[in-house]
Structure 1
Amino acid sequence: MINSESKEELVQNLRDAGCGMETIQDFLLYLDENQKEKQLELLEKHRRRLLSNVHREEKKIYCLDYLVYQIKK
């Protein structure tokens, strides 16, 4: 079992990764129940969500870069 200090660090890491309270609570529940596969699924789902956001923002950057290119041309 994980000690309380390690659990606090784990929770902080999840917060830093942008996880919401529901995700954190589910993760801790899976931790307590030793359901590593469920933990991994939860983290992968959050990772896909973050990556989707990155791609969405990246498209905006490309649009701005194109506009800058057109203005300088």
Structure 2
Amino acid sequence: MAQNENPYAYTVLQNLKDAGCTDEMAEMFMALQDSGDGEQQRRLLSGHRKHLLEKLHRNQRRIDCLDYLIYQMETKKEE
């Protein structure tokens, strides 16, 4: 059965896409699914999760910098 005819495969692919996985990563994940290599699938997902979390933390630091500047501007304005 083709992946587009398999509701489970479609759901998994959509979830991977929604999680920001590349087409290449999704293809690799599905190939690992077909070969039954769940451990490699978990490693692939964990690596992507780590990447997303690093981006989140990097952006949080940027937001903190902006918040600090806004705070400094408001404090100076009140003087």
Instruction: Determine if the TM-score, normalized by the shorter chain, exceeds 0.5.
Output: yes
Q: Which has the larger radius of gyration?
A: 2
Residue equivalent to 1:55 = 57
Deviations 1:23-61 (A, max 9, x none): 101100100000000000000000001001101110110
**TM-score, structure 1 length as denominator?**
0.94
CA RMSD in angstroms, aligned pairs only: 1.0
Say how many residue pairs are matched: 71
Residue equivalent to 1:18 = 20
Displacement of 1:62 = 0.3
The amino acid across from 1:72 in the alignment is E
Identity %: 39
Residue equivalent to 1:5 = 7
Q: Distance in 2 between matches of 1:62 and 1:16?
A: 27
**Would you identify which runs of 4 or more consecutive aligned residues in structure 1 move more than 2 Å?**
none
**TM-score, structure 2 length as denominator?**
0.87
Larger RCO (CA within 8 A; separation ≥ 6): 1
Deviations 1:10-35 (A, max 9, x none): 10000000000111011001000000
Q: Distance in 2 between matches of 1:51 and 1:9?
A: 23
